[in-house]
Amino acid sequence: MSDLVLTERDGGVLVVTLNRPEVRNALNPALMDELSAVLRAADADRDVRAIVLTGAGPVFCAGLDLKAFTAGGDFTGLVWFFREGVATPVVAALNGPALAGGFELLLACDLVVAAEGAELGLAEVKRGLFAAGGGTTLSGRVPMAVALEMGLTGDPVTAARAREIGLVNRVVPADRVRAEALALAARIAANGPLGVAMTKRLMRERRWAEPEEIGKVFGSADAAEGARAFAERRPPVWTGE
């Protein structure tokens, strides 16, 4: 691993930082591949109960590194994350603008805390491209007219507007973004990991649970521990089993 992606543990939360501030954290193949590896490793680590994804410097992510794009290379390293995501809940901490591929990166996250001055948008059409990293699914998250305006004009919206249309959970001063995202992630991490993972999966897929899925969680050791802890008036100790 290089220093393109920084990681830091805070209890059950892993903070992941895109670290190319000199180019506004633009996504080149090396950064995409390293971020992919970090996310896969975090998702496989039972001690990581939530992830906070942020950027170094004043920008979350400016999208595709166009200089690297013109030089060629493999830009598919994060396709799996855009399409499938991870079982672990991910909170995006938008320390600044999230544009084009950076906007699609936040769409792959579950919750978003944004700085007051952050702008969000799908700028690909301004460069003769389109939002191939999941931006075209935006119409499933916001009204069609809003999605089409963002996608076809390439114009960004403010963090406040993004909150109005349901893309952002919190809008806070820039110096509070990390703390707010960590607090939100910690609240998730304090809950039963099997129940959290199943809730995320079913909500993402917009469906009811199948009987075997209900049995897996309701018959788990964590479910029994949750009930005991409630009866004994103490915090539960989760094992993920």
Query: Is residue 124 annotated as a catalytic residue, yes or no?
Result: yes
Provide the terminal-to-terminal Cα distance of the chain, rounded to the nearest Å.
Answer: 31
Among candidate residues 22, 84, 116, 124, the one labeled active-site is: 124
CA distances (Å), origin 167, targets 40, 65, 121, 199: 25, 24, 11, 19
Q: What sign results for the dihedral spanned by CA atoms 193, 195, 196, 200?
A: positive
Show the tokens assigned to 157. Answer: 């919206």
Question: 3-class SS at 10?
Answer: strand
Show the tokens assigned to 21. Answer: 């501030």
CA distances (Å), origin 176, targets 59, 106, 113, 131, 187: 15, 18, 9, 30, 17
Query: Is residue 8 annotated as a catalytic residue, yes or no?
Result: no
One-letter amino acid for residue 173 of the chain: P
Among candidate residues 8, 34, 84, 104, the one labeled active-site is: 104
Read off φ and ψ for residue 59, nearest 5 degrees: -130, 135
Query: C-alpha 119: how far from its chain's center?
Result: 16
Catalytic positions: 104, 124
